[in-house]
A and B are shown apart, each in its own frame.
Chain A
Amino acid sequence: MKQAGSKNIFSYQYRLKRLRRDSNKWALLTLIILFLIALPVISIGVKLFSGPGETWGHIVDNLLFDYIGNSFFLIFACGAIVLLLGVSAAWLVARFEFPLREQMEWLLILPLAIPGYIVAYAYAGVFDYGGTFQLILESLGLEFIRIDIMNRWGLAFVLGISLFPYVYVSSRAFFLNQANSLMEASEMLGVGQLKTFFRLMLPMARPAIVAGLILVLMEVLNDYGAAKYYGVNTFTTGIFRSWFSLEEPETAVYLSALLIVIVFSLILLEKFQRRHVRFNSSRNNNDRIFRKKVSKRKQLVIFLIVLFPVLLGFLIPVAQLIYWATLTYGKVFDFSFLALSLQSFGIAFLTAFVTVIFALTLIFFSKWSRLSFVRNVSKLGVLGYAIPGAVIAIGIMIPTISIDKWLIGVIDYLFDFNVGLILTGTLVALIYAYVVRFLAVAYNPIESTALKVSNAIPDSSKMLGVGNLKTFFKVEFPLIRTGIASAFILVFIDVLKELPLTLILKPFHVSTLAVKAYEYASDEMVMEAAIPSLFIIITVMLPVIILNRQLIK
């Protein structure tokens, strides 16, 4: 007995000692960053304790089943679509040489340039009465065929084709960096292409693919505009409904919490499936990539397979938008539009930069901290992506407004005048909210490339007495460059498209292209939304092309 007791005390003391020994500034910094990221979630979480609103029972009785059913339907249907399109395209462009391959590589990212709800509007326009598709059918004498896209299958299709590039980008990065030696080895052993792909590459690429997939699913669960337009009730439409139509933020918070549970399970699932896989490879990432040369006919088949998602996710909606733009450009286009796009571009650029830095610090500070619990909780930083933009915006306003009020009080006391709101309604609050929302977008590609860097490399640097930061810049940074570039592209694109959060937090006189497009679309002037949408697409194309080149290097 006595022995056991003393052992317990010993272990407690031992743990405390270990904690004291292992606490370093990196652990502290990680926790501070994590707190900043979690602050809006916490301020909403605190609201959970005030209990659900009185209509919670009403929602459970009448709507919850529908929300859960549709949300899970979308998870599976969109998941299947993005895996099929994303992985196959990534594999083909990474492994085969075919005409226009280089162009295809960046064209495949472009569907991300179009906001999901705009794709939804465009496709509704295509299949509409008097829409392009119907006109084509009519000219062929097939007018009796009518495709109704405005249902949950249509929604899954629209979200799938506009989000598959997340999977494409993350799995392509893997195939480009990892596939060569494995393929060579496999081929030397006489294993066929297909078998190599399914038995070797696919399992190896799983973490990268799943990382992309998780992003897609979070985005799917976050979608509001498209689901609302297509008349599909999901958790997010439910959150908006209970928050705004039923006037019960408490109930909305409960629905958000349920949604977070779903996303959290997805993240845990990913962690779980990744648990035994080690990615310490000694590969040199800068090797040239050897692409297989196949017969002309096979090249054509590959080209068509790769063209298919580009056609659906980019060319068709863009063609519809261009058609609308030709009808409305006189009304919409003027010089203030150029200023608007520059403003959008600037905000997105700045936010992408800040978000990447946050992601890097979170990943590396937690790695350098010796406390395992810090490393484990650092993953929580990506949860912001699971929370609808509008909810984050409210979550940001609660703390920033109290800080502002406190500042106003202090300054009024010290200097006897009113400074007004300093954080709220400024770019600081807006960019802060973007960082919270899009940290996952930057975190995942960086983490998955960082995982592939053998620990031996930075470890040997540190063993030679080089500090963490210097090791990072001299050794790790060059190795994870591709991941950082992917992260930057993705955040940039997401910010440029982001809507609900921007609508709530944007300062006076600041507007973005997405806001402009929404203003038109929400007032049933979908055709007028085409010009700002096309501007978003044009603005995004350039960085995609530039950074895509960097990814290949």
Chain B
Amino acid sequence: MRKLLFAITLVVLSACKNEKNNDQAQENKEQVVNVYTHRHYASDQLLFKRFEEETGIKVNVINANADELIQKMNIEGAQSPADVLITVDAGRLTRAKDQDLLQAVESDILNNTIASHLKDPDNYWFGLTKRARVIVYAKDRVDSTALSTYEDLATENWKGKVLIRSSENIYNQSLLASLIVNNGEEGAREWSKNMVSNMARSPKGNDRDQVKAVVAGEGDLAIVNTYYIGNMLNSDSPEEVKAAKAVGLFFPNQEGRGAHINVSGAGVARYAPNKDNAVKFIEFLISEEAQEVLTNSNFEYPVNEAVEPSDLLKGWGDFKEDTLELSKLGEFNKKAVLIFDETGWK
């Protein structure tokens, strides 16, 4: 009974509060933008704070895995407080679009700044930063001239020498999705099968662990994201720095389509209660100011071409990137997961 009374009181109280809000002029209402994000880096928090300072719009953040955020938005439906969804891969954004959780945005700033393959063709989402999935190799055991493509890693040459993490990981799923588009489903299946037989060990750990395993001699080379190498080189642990320095970095497929890249990206939620603020927020994230912060403190490649990559990234040299429309990665994500399972890639 008491609980019931309590609930009623709550309802009444919140009702009063809302009525008060309605009475006040719209402009007086605190401006907010509610962000559902899979990114949880210090650089992002810094940028959110700057955005608040510059615009007076308060940034509310929910951090979680992109899958869980999408599920949450699905269940919340039209009542969802989410304004912006940020994920660390294009596949999840495409999925959110397919599930009708995002809306198209018309913004000249976004359209003119971001290259067309780095955003949704219908403007449902936009890339914020790029990461390349590259080969790292033991400098003492592998001659970099022996390296060429992702496809080459699946040949007999590298039997028992390749290190790569579990197929659970979205970056691997996206890589295989790109192979499905580029080489066809059968080609991708063949690749996955041969990669499994080339693995130095059963997949485990994260990207950093693959680098360490290369240095420890468990395998000769690994497929990892550039972003993690940057973080390892700047790690607080002397051992991690040592490991990252002991490997060479190679951008594959430079003669052909280019290295596989993925983006962190953002889209405006279908039922965004603060749509204008959401657009402003995304525009801010690709501004030169924000992109500088992202590339310098988080070792990601900027999508805004006016901004140079950080010195560390430049040190790895320019590279040719696969300009496959990233929305395709989402389209073929599920197929990729099925192929991984069928070919026994754990």
Which residues of A come within 8 Å of B, CB atoms? 55, 58-59, 62-63, 124, 128-131, 146, 150-151, 228-231, 233, 237, 240-241, 243-247, 324, 327-328, 331, 390, 393-394, 397-398, 401, 404-405, 407-408, 411, 415, 417-422, 424-425, 500, 503-504, 506, 508-509, 511, 515, 519-520, 522-525, 527
Contacts and interface: CB of A to CB of B under 8 A. Distances in A.
B63 A397 contact: no
A241 B243 CA distance: 31
B41 A247 contact: no
A511 B65 CA distance: 15
Contact of B334 (A146, A247, A328): A247
B207 A504 contact: no
Nearest to A245: B337
B15 A411 contact: yes
Interface in B44-66: 60-65
A247 to B, nearest CB: 6
A102 B185 CA distance: 64
B42 A331 contact: yes
A124 B205 contact: yes
Contacts of B276: none
B346 A229 contact: no
Nearest to B242: A130
B10 interface: yes
B295 to A, nearest CB: 17
Interface stretch (B70-78, B139-147, B280-288, B309-317): B70-78
Q: Indicate the member of B40, B228, B333 with the most A CB atoms within 10 Å.
A: B40
B11 A327 contact: no
B216 A129 contact: yes
Interface stretch (B116-124, B152-160, B230-238): B230-238
A233 B207 CA distance: 18
A397 B72 contact: yes
A383 B75 CA distance: 24
Contacts of A527: 235-237
Nearest to A125: B237
B contact patch SS: helix
Contacts of B81: 420-421, 425, 508
A525 B34 CA distance: 25
Given A128-B212, A508-B62, A524 B338 contact: no
Contact of B18 (A146, A328, A419, A524): A419
Contacts of A411: 11, 15
Q: Indicate the member of B18, B202, B243, B341 with the most A CB atoms within 10 Å.
A: B341
A522 B41 CA distance: 11
Contact of A62 (B61, B202, B341): B341
A388 to B, nearest CB: 12
A5 B41 CA distance: 75
B204 interface: yes
23 contacts: A62-B344, A128-B212, A129-B215, A129-B216, A130-B240, A130-B242, A229-B204, A229-B206, A230-B204, A240-B67, A240-B168, A243-B71, A327-B236, A327-B237, A398-B75, A401-B75, A401-B76, A417-B15, A421-B76, A425-B76, A522-B40, A524-B208, A524-B231
B11 A420 contact: no
Given A231-B202, A328-B236, A422 B11 contact: yes
B62 A506 contact: yes
B79 interface: yes
B57 to A, nearest CB: 15
A504 B68 contact: yes
A131 to B, nearest CB: 8
Interface in B147-185: 166, 168, 173
A200 B58 CA distance: 65
A419 B338 contact: no
B332 to A, nearest CB: 13
Given A231-B346, A421-B81, 11 more contacts: A59-B341, A129-B243, A151-B204, A230-B204, A230-B205, A408-B79, A420-B14, A422-B10, A425-B81, A500-B68, A504-B68
Contacts, number: 151
Interface in B259-276: none
A62 B342 contact: yes
Interface residues of B, number: 59
Given A231-B346, A245-B337, A524 B206 contact: yes
Contacts of A246: 334, 337-338
Given A237-B168, A504-B68, A420 B79 contact: yes
Q: Indicate the member of A247, A404, A408 with the most B CB atoms within 10 Å.
A: A247
A130 B212 contact: yes
A216 B239 CA distance: 35
B213 interface: yes
A383 B206 CA distance: 33
Contacts of A522: 40, 65
Given A523-B40, A524-B207, A245 B173 contact: yes
Which 4 A-B pairs give the minimum distances between C-beta atoms?
Answer: A231-B204, A130-B239, A129-B216, A244-B67
A55 B335 CA distance: 11
A417 B213 contact: no
Contacts of B79: 401, 404-405, 408, 420-421, 424
Contacts of A228: 166, 168
A55 B239 contact: no
Q: Indicate the member of A55, A129, A419 with the most B CB atoms within 10 Å.
A: A129
A509 B60 contact: yes
Contacts of B325: none
A508 B346 contact: no
Given A231-B346, A509-B60, A503 B68 contact: yes
B63 A231 contact: no
B209 interface: yes
Given A130-B242, A419-B11, A150 B204 contact: yes
Given A62-B341, A230-B204, A422 B63 contact: no
A356 to B, nearest CB: 17
